[in-house]
């Protein structure tokens, strides 16, 4: 027997287009495909940076988890402490000793970026903001946010309070995947509390097709940043940037990256689960051939230049020796895409094939030795 290697080019049925280089004025940036978690563009994506009010995504994540998995309800009320009331920066304008529903606090955090609402919710759920920050870090570790450490619930500047745009993208996608119903809060465009109406600080909701979240942030140390996402048809793109020099630049840079991702990359199914890849000869089986099929579905997000030529090869022993067991791996499909790690897919038999009886095995062996052909040729 010998290992057969078949090399060919996968045709993806698309007209070639040039992919223009993409860059951003942001100091840190990442563009991620939501479904595949593939990184389409990154710039200093793992650098530690102050997350500013993007911190509040984790505050909301922790609250969503409690709402989903405990008896906590959005109608439950929290008492506003003096600490929460005195918070500076962006505010929901809570009053000291007010009883405020979880629902209103969430809207105050997400829409108005209220630092007072963030502290009030943290104290309500964990007793103190310090204890809540420890909970935030537990969630961060669980999600694989390896360049993150939270000190508070609002993003107020503090030493050793940091994250990365990559980690914030992981967090943003987790909110959407784990709490799809509660995530709808992020699409609300305005909120009125204490007779003060404030618009959502995420201006992409009104300017970018499909935008439905997540959160802006700004401190002097971080510059202007945003974790943003948009969905068009069945595809979602997540973008996180930080370190732009104005709110206008933040909006323009994030919008450009989102639109680039949708226009210049596409999500393609390279191989389907159970797809026939090759028909292999069987040695001394009660059937002469067996189909080797893909063991899994492979979906990848590709630029148009990557779609032009995808190198692929199939490796398996030829001929396969009976008996053949359905579902057992007998080879592999290798897919090479420029700029991406190689993809390896196990090829499994799609049916059982038994061996011929001993007498036929003897005659087949003689024929193979004399003529170099199998019994079925």
Closest by CA to 330, choosing from 313, 314, 312, 354, is: 314
Residue 376 to residue 360: CA distance in whole angstroms: 11
Provide DSSP, 237-283: EEEEEEEESSHHHHHHHHHHHHHHHHHHEEEEEEE-TT-EEEEEEEE
Q: Do 249 and 25 meet the contact criterion of CB atoms below 8 Å apart?
A: yes
17 included as an active-site residue: no
Catalytic residue among 81, 90, 113, 295: 113
Cα-trace Rg, the chain: 28
263 included as an active-site residue: no
Question: What is the bridge-based pairing of β-strands 276-283 and 320-321?
Answer: parallel
For residue 88, what are its two tokens? Answer: 């500076």
Answer whether the bond into residue 214 is a cis peptide, omega within 30°.
yes
| Cβ-Cβ contacts under 8 Å for 103 (sequence gap 6 or more) | 74, 75
Cα dihedral sign for 84, 86, 90, 93? positive
312 included as an active-site residue: no
User: CA geometry: angle at 22 spanning 16 and 23, to 5°?
Assistant: 170
Catalytic residue among 53, 118, 164, 172: 53
Q: Do 332 and 348 meet the contact criterion of CB atoms below 8 Å apart?
A: no
From residue 83, alpha-carbon distances to 44, 155, 366 in Å are 35, 15, 91
CA neighbours closer than 13 Å in the CB half-sphere of residue 291:
9
For residue 9, what are its two tokens? Answer: 């080019």
Catalytic residue among 56, 107, 203, 215: 56
Active site positions, annotated: 53, 56, 113
């Amino acid at each position: 027997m010998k290992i057969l290697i078949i090399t060919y080019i996968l045709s993806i049925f698309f007209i070639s287009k040039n992919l223009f280089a993409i860059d951003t004025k942001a100091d840190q940036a990442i563009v991620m495909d939501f479904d595949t978690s593939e990184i389409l563009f990154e710039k200093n994506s793992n650098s530690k940076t102050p997350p500013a009010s993007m911190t509040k995504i984790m505050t909301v994540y922790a609250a969503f988890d409690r709402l989903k998995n405990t008896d906590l309800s959005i109608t439950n009320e929290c008492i506003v402490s003096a600490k929460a009331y005195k918070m500076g920066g962006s505010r929901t304008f809570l009053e000291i000793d007010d009883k405020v529903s979880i629902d209103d606090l969430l809207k105050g955090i997400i829409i108005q970026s209220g630092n007072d609402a963030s502290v009030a919710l943290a104290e309500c759920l964990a007793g103190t903001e310090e204890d809540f920050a420890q909970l935030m870090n537990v969630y961060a570790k669980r999600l694989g946010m390896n360049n993150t450490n939270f000190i508070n619930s609002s993003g107020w500047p503090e030493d050793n309070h940091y994250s990365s745009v990559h980690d914030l993208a992981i967090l943003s996608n987790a909110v959407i995947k784990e709490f799809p119903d509660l995530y709808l809060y992020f699409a609300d465009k305005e909120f009125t509390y204490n007779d003060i109406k404030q618009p959502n600080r995420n201006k992409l909701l009104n300017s970018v097709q499909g935008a439905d979240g997540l959160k802006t942030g700004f401190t002097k140390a971080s510059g202007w940043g945003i974790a943003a996402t948009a969905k068009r048809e069945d595809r979602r793109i997540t973008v996180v940037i930080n370190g732009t020099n104005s709110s206008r630049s933040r909006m323009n840079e994030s919008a450009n990256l989102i639109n680039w991702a949708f226009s210049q990359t596409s999500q393609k199914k390279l191989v389907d689960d159970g797809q026939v890849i090759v028909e292999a000869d069987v040695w001394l089986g009660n059937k002469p051939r067996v189909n080797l099929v893909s063991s899994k579905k492979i979906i990848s997000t590709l630029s148009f230049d990557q779609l032009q030529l995808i190198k692929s090869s199939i490796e398996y022993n030829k001929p396969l020796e009976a008996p053949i067991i359905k579902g057992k791996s007998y080879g592999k499909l290798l897919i090479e895409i420029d700029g991406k790690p190689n993809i390896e897919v196990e090829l499994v038999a799609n049916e059982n094939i038994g061996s011929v009886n001993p007498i036929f095995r003897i005659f087949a062996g003689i024929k193979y030795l004399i003529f170099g052909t199998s019994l079925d040729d």
